[in-house]
Structure 1
């Protein structure tokens, strides 16, 4: 049984409170941005976020802001992790190929050692 009290719906048998909040406009904007190839958060990247707040008239380089430094360090850490993961994948692929080749070589060696001609076939092979 539901009871509405001050904008809250109270489910009497479980005692759980819930409130109706609509996020439709935010979701519609999010889907529109995804459909148009834009980031879901407009403040995550772009000229207002990535470019400096000011520039010097004489052309000197402006220092990076605190958040820009954090963002650059975060991106460098992600790049380091990606390079490490790629190296690990390459090593795993090479190791797999090497192990497969060594298994095949071992199998071939065992077969060559097991199956030797005997008797008159051995004498024919020497001639």
Structure 2
């Protein structure tokens, strides 16, 4: 892609040096990103850390400083993530509870059918009736 752009923009004599610069820049950038991802680090090292998360200044008398623009964005993003996690957790809990209730209802239905099918007969039926009347 970059090589095609080089060919379109520059005369044929300048292509090797200019394209070599572009290719070497993008290749090293990709290697650095791959290295950081393999080690579990963020692709952009300036996203987190003391410089990004800390305050720009502080008052000498100890008053709290207002949040910076980046801090406000991160706080709102974290709040949205927390709300979505809570909502999804509630949905999962509801689904688990509903599944449990459906299983119990099915088990009660099967038990009711089994109780209606299996009844004592003969002497056992007479004994059961006599015990109920006592």
Q: 1:39 Cα shift?
A: 0.9
Q: Does 1:73 align with 2:76?
A: yes
Q: What does 1:1-127 align with in structure 2 at a 5 Å threshold?
A: 7-8=7-8, 22=23, 23-123=26-126, 125=128
The structure, 1 or 2, with the larger RCO (C-alpha pairs under 8 Å, 6+ apart) is 2
SS in 1 for 2:120: coil
Deviations 1:62-110 (A, max 9, x none): 1101221121011101101101111110111111011111101111111
How many residues in Structure 1 have an aligned counterpart in Structure 2?
Answer: 114
Rate the CA distance shift 1:120–1:88 in 2: closer, same or farther, 3 A.
Answer: same
Q: 1:26 Cα shift?
A: 1.3
Rate the CA distance shift 1:5–1:76 in 2: closer, same or farther, 3 A.
Answer: closer
TM superposition score normalised by structure 2: 0.72
Q: 1:115 Cα shift?
A: 1.9
RMSD over aligned CA atoms reads: 2.5
- Greater helix content: 2
* Structure 2, gaps ≥5 residues long: 9-18
Distance 2:98 2:28 in 1: 52
Q: 1:41 Cα shift?
A: 1.6
Rate the CA distance shift 1:115–1:37 in 2: closer, same or farther, 3 A.
Answer: same
* Structure 1, gaps ≥5 residues long: 9-18
TM superposition score normalised by structure 1: 0.75
Aligned to 2:11: none
Rate the CA distance shift 1:124–1:53 in 2: closer, same or farther, 3 A.
Answer: same
